[in-house]
């Protein structure tokens, strides 16, 4: 009897929760089915940082990076994120540079960023004093800048026995900090001083002028955009999705009225044991993201079967928030970047298989940048949906029938007759 079979029998016979497997396994038996233990990956990364943080004083070059919490909103923790090293640290907080990185690399980046925590009222942040001003200035800075921080105690990290928790570095209450002089990103600086510019316009203007989305998200989160009286600090998690949605909707306001593409296309990509296929169809705008989570992955840790979730919209868009969350808006934005570039529109279905090698969630950026990367490859082209789905069968483990059964777009495409059907008949 294998270790996994023995554990399953022990759980069944004794009525133990499946979460007990971490206690029993201790990172040695791989009972979760993964090829490496996510808990130990976090532990090793944290150990590297712990050895070089030995007091409540810290100095280093911030990428630059800031964080705005969401628990207790509007009373939230804000602060800088500082690695205990000097030099060019920009890679540590620039997801656009992470496509060739492993999960271990990404976890290392996150655990080396020490997070300062300073409590403010997000709706009345000006009462927060000088630290608030410094956090805003850091978020607008283009290049890594030297930062010195004093914490109320030595920063500590906490390792959660839970695949759902994204990696975070050590943190502590911030007493004070100071940053060297850095140059602001020019378009973010412009919106900071223009207190009559709406936040939507500020985001779109910065994006169209080449500012990285990750940079825009930081500036958006620390209340440096929008009409003066409406400015707020926005939790980092919320700001990421808000910026993706704003940019995506701006692109879509043009692309949905373009001529359609001339053929069916499938783009492919693999990264971090996530397999992607993106189907584009020659029809009016519609969009769907379908995610298939295998057992022993981040969002299906104890399941015995593949769990599939999807969200879609048709030409008139959607009114409610997507169940999939930020990944939906990140992928929709990335798709519309390509359609804008090609001056076309299409019906789009994104198929994602998350396999067990994806041992922990690493953030919405993973979806945005992987879809972007996929759409830079040469697509497979064909003349019919049947041919496209036959090709999909050869690239993905899950058969087309399962994808169709979980897709609102594909079922509608088969069911709804279109003008070209009558022309050809």
pTM, to two decimals? 0.87
Burial of residue 264 (number of CB atoms within 10 Å: 0-12, 13-18, 19+): buried
* Tens digit of each residue's pLDDT (9 = 90 or more) over 11-70: 555 554 555 455 446 555 555 666 666 655 555 555 565 555 667 899 999 999 999 999
Q: What gap in Å lies between CA 19 and CA 404, rounded to an integer?
A: 33
Q: What gap in Å lies between CA 90 and CA 92, rounded to an integer?
A: 5
* Tens digit of each residue's pLDDT (9 = 90 or more) over 155-210: 887 554 444 345 667 889 999 999 998 999 999 999 999 999 999 999 999 999 99
Please compute the mean of the pLDDT values over residues 338-351 and round it to a whole number.
98
Sketch the domain layout of the chain as residue ranges: 1-31, 38-234, 264-424
């Amino acid at each position: 009897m294998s270790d996994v079979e023995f554990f399953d029998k022990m759980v069944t016979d004794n009525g133990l929760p499946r979460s007990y497997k971490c206690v029993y396994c201790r990172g040695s038996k791989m009972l979760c089915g993964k090829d490496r233990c996510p808990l130990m990956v976090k532990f090793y990364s944290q150990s590297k940082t712990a050895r070089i943080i030995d007091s409540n004083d810290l100095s280093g070059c911030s990428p630059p990076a800031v964080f705005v919490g969401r628990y207790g909103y509007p009373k939230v923790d804000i602060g800088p994120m500082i690695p205990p090293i000097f030099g060019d640290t920009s890679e540590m907080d620039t997801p656009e540079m992470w496509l060739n990185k492993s999960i271990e690399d990404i976890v290392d980046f996150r655990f080396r960023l020490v997070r300062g925590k300073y409590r403010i009222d997000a709706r009345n942040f000006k009462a927060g004093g000088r630290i608030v001003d410094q956090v805003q200035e850091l978020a607008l800075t283009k290049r890594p800048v030297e930062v010195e921080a004093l914490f109320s105690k030595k920063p500590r990290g906490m390792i959660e026995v839970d695949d759902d928790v994204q990696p975070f570095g050590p943190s502590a209450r911030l007493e004070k900090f100071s940053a060297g002089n850095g140059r602001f990103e020019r378009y973010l600086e412009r919106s900071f001083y223009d207190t009559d510019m709406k936040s939507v316009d500020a985001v779109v203007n910065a994006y169209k002028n080449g500012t990285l989305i990750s940079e825009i998200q930081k500036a958006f989160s620390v209340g440096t955009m929008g009409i003066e009286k409406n400015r707020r600090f926005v939790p980092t998690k919320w700001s990421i999705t808000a910026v993706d949605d704003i940019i995506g909707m701006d692109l879509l306001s043009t692309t949905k009225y373009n001529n359609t593409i001339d053929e069916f296309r499938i783009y492919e990509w693999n990264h971090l044991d996530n397999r992607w296929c993106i189907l584009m169809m020659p029809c009016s705008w519609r969009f769907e993201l379908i995610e298939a989570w295998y057992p022993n992955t981040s969002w299906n840790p104890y399941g015995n079967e593949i769990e599939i979730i999807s969200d879609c919209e048709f030409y008139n868009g959607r009114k409610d928030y997507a169940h999939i969350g930020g990944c939906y808006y990140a992928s929709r934005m990335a798709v519309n970047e390509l359609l804008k570039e090609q001056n076309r529109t299409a019906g789009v279905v994104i198929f994602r298989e998350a396999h067990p090698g994806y041992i922990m969630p690493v953030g919405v950026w993973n979806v945005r940048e992987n879809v972007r990367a996929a759409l830079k490859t040469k697509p497979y082209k064909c003349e019919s949906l049947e041919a496209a789905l036959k090709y999909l069968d050869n690239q993905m483990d899950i058969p087309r029938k399962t994808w169709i059964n979980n897709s609102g777009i594909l079922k509608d495409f088969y069911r709804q007759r279109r003008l070209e059907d009558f022309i050809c008949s």
